[in-house]
Chain A
Amino acid sequence: MKNRLRVLRAEREWSQADLADRLGASRQTVNAIETGRYDPSLPLAFKIARLFGLHIEEIFIDEAVEAAAE
């Protein structure tokens, strides 16, 4: 699953460590989510969405839906 986490984080000039602290997660987890190696649980995805003031689907992009739309 693709996501815009790195872009959103960069817009706020946060490091991965800053974002990890805000989420109560490890820096490794933030890195794995950003690079698409790990899909977060729903609670963590909601936490991320709340932190950026966005809906989940504005951050995480379902590639199957994206492909269907194209």
Chain B
Amino acid sequence: MSIDLATVRRIAHLARIDIDDAALAPMAGELNQILSWVEQLAQVNTDGVPPLTSVVDAELPRRADVVTDGGYPEDVLANAPQAEHGFFAVPKVIE
């Protein structure tokens, strides 16, 4: 499987990372190099092998339904690049 420029563009868009047109081809080269290297896994027979879900062999812990957190909007907004009237402010979605 080899990635073409259109695929790099599509992945970059999915990941919301702007890539200059000039940088697309080198990036495709690097990604293809890595992908062709990891494709060695195809050699491993994994028939009937379950995927590893967690190395921790324990029950999923559950929290009691009690309000123990929140109530500090200043702390939540403290690092915001832009906040107005208690809201985070972001550029509008442009259609």
Partners in one complex: no
Q: CB within 8 Å of A: which residues of B?
A: none
